Amino acid sequence: MKYYDMPVTEHPLREGVRDNTNHYVTGRDGGRDIDLRRFALEGMELYGLLEGFDGGRFEFQPNLRDNLDQADETYNRINASIDRHIAAQGIDAPPPSVYTPVWEPPEERTRLDLAAAGITSVVWCIGFSPDFAWVDAPVFNGRGAPVHLRGVTNEPGLYFLGLPWLHTWGSGRFSGVARDAEFLAEAIERRKTERRDARTEEMPLRGLHAA
């Protein structure tokens, strides 16, 4: 399908696709989907977006149901596009399917008391949002996202690499980051050459005397 090769400028959502959440898969047991709803059936506790910590309690946004529904919509949309490609190419594959939720959150929980829940350590966390507030440079839009073209900003010497959809969907993955790194390396070397040539042109002529 060559989806990993599609530049963000050619995607129907344009830069809006950078806000989309990636789907989760695993190579275990030959490769399979990771279903958070099934994990919930097996005892995993799910919450909405973590937004703070106060008085020994985690505080969450009441958006678990919406997040799960949006993830399912993305999953089904990706599967549908793959199924259309299979049909168009005449590939022998299992028939199309649509995911049906196996679990629904009974309520939206916005707080978790760590002591009451017996939690003494946080071993691993995911789901962080990018925050470039520590970068003091005029290269960000109103949403705090860097403005760039394939990682090259308007600020001399400032580049970005490894961001989702930096150039393609593969930009934030090992499969595509090398191509972006090569592009940036060439851009950096080209800028160095241009600056060196500019300095050479500005150097005053020395050792020349009028006859």
Q: What is the pLDDT along the chain (211 residues), one digit of tens a residue?
A: 777 788 888 888 887 778 776 666 777 788 778 899 999 999 999 999 999 999 999 999 999 999 999 989 988 988 999 999 999 999 999 999 999 999 999 999 999 999 999 999 988 777 677 889 899 999 999 888 999 999 999 999 999 999 988 999 888 888 789 999 999 999 999 998 888 878 887 766 555 555 4
For the chain, the domain total comes to 2
- Is residue 112 located within the same domain as residue 30? yes
- Is residue 148 located within the same domain as residue 113? no
Q: Is the dihedral of CA 14, 65, 62, 23 positive or negative?
A: negative
- Is residue 144 located within the same domain as residue 66? no
The pLDDT, as a whole number, for residue 211 is: 46
Domain containing 53 equals 21-117
- Element (DSSP H or E) covering residue 40: helix 36-41
In a domain, 204, yes or no: yes
In a domain, 1, yes or no: no
How many residues are given for the chain?
211
In a domain, 58, yes or no: yes
Distance CA 181, CA 184 (A): 5
> Is 61 within 8 Å of 51 (Cβ atoms)?
yes
Of 70, 88, 117, the one marking the end of a domain is 117
The pLDDT, as a whole number, for residue 131 is: 87
Q: Exposed/middle/buried for 200, CB within 10 Å: 0-12, 13-18, 19+?
A: exposed
- Is residue 53 located within the same domain as residue 86? yes
- Is residue 176 located within the same domain as residue 104? no
